[in-house]
Amino acid sequence: MLNLHGKVAFVAGAGSVAEGWGNGRATAVLMARQGAKVFGVDYSAEALSGTTAAMEQEAGADWTGWLANMTSTEEVERAVAECLSRYGRIDILVNNVGGSAPGTPVSMSVDEWDGQLDRNLKTAFLGCKHVLPVMERQFAAEGRGGAIVNVSSIASMSFQVDGRVHVAYAASKAGLETLSRATAIAYVKKGIRVNSVVVGMMHTPLVAHRLTQQLGTANAEDLAAKRNALIPMGRMGDAWDVANAVVFLASDEAGYITATQLVVDGGVTAARPGNVDSDAR
């Protein structure tokens, strides 16, 4: 079940901002556990070194860490070329780079808006731009192309109740899901599947780090308790909940699934549509 042996996974955003398990780190490790060779990219050497340390604890893990800024087409192109040099193919692409910043169209600066679209949307566009031709060649030669999974957010379909509006984050994540669907249909005849994991409120190092700063609170436990109370399941998810969903959509077991969104949110959007705190990373 979910056997990834013989597959090469290119995971963008494979580090974590602090000790512990971010979405990208958990996804990279879980893919290695399932037998994939994992080429993990991050812009932070410190974040990437933590994933390397985690991989060293995994018996038999085949892992390469690579520093690159996924907003730069030249750096993405070099990273893809290095992955091909080392492993000869790319079967799975995970676009996991992202992050949010609060602001309305008036309060948010133009630079903040541009940065959010670059981080959350352009990175996935560039990942697809440089990996899709690889998968297309594989399909022409072997009859198997690949799978792309983009990590999105319930911010794409909702807003916050506490006044912390995130217009650029919401817009970029909605764009990411549209990019996923359009790309899926464009490449459906070429053996390439494209799907999104739409993530709800998660207890990850990045979220804890960012929210305590944004809200000016030092009490992370109180913040976590308030967020847990908003969720029908009574708790936030964690990076492994995201990783499990990503690995499923990347696997052959999801071979008949494309152009869709898998919501991983503990029931938030069903119970409180349009009325949730949607920080999802």
Report the alpha-carbon distance of residue 152 to residue 246 in Å, rounded. Answer: 11
Report the alpha-carbon distance of residue 33 to residue 44 in Å, rounded. Answer: 24
The dihedral of CA 135, 139, 142, 143: what is its sign? positive
Identity of residue 26: A
Identity of residue 214: Q
Question: Among residues 182, 179, 118, 185, which one has the least CA distance to residue 150?
Answer: 179
Report the alpha-carbon distance of residue 269 to residue 154 in Å, rounded. Answer: 7
* 169 is known as an active-site residue: yes
**Residues contacting residue 65 through CB under 8 Å, at least 6 positions apart:** 14, 40, 41, 42, 48, 49, 51, 52
Find the catalytic residue in 43, 169, 187, 256.
Answer: 169
Longest dimension (CA), the chain: 55
Q: Where are the alpha helices (DSSP H) in the chain?
A: 23-33, 45-56, 73-87, 110-117, 123-142, 167-186, 205-215, 220-229, 239-250, 268-271
The residues annotated as belonging to the active site are 169
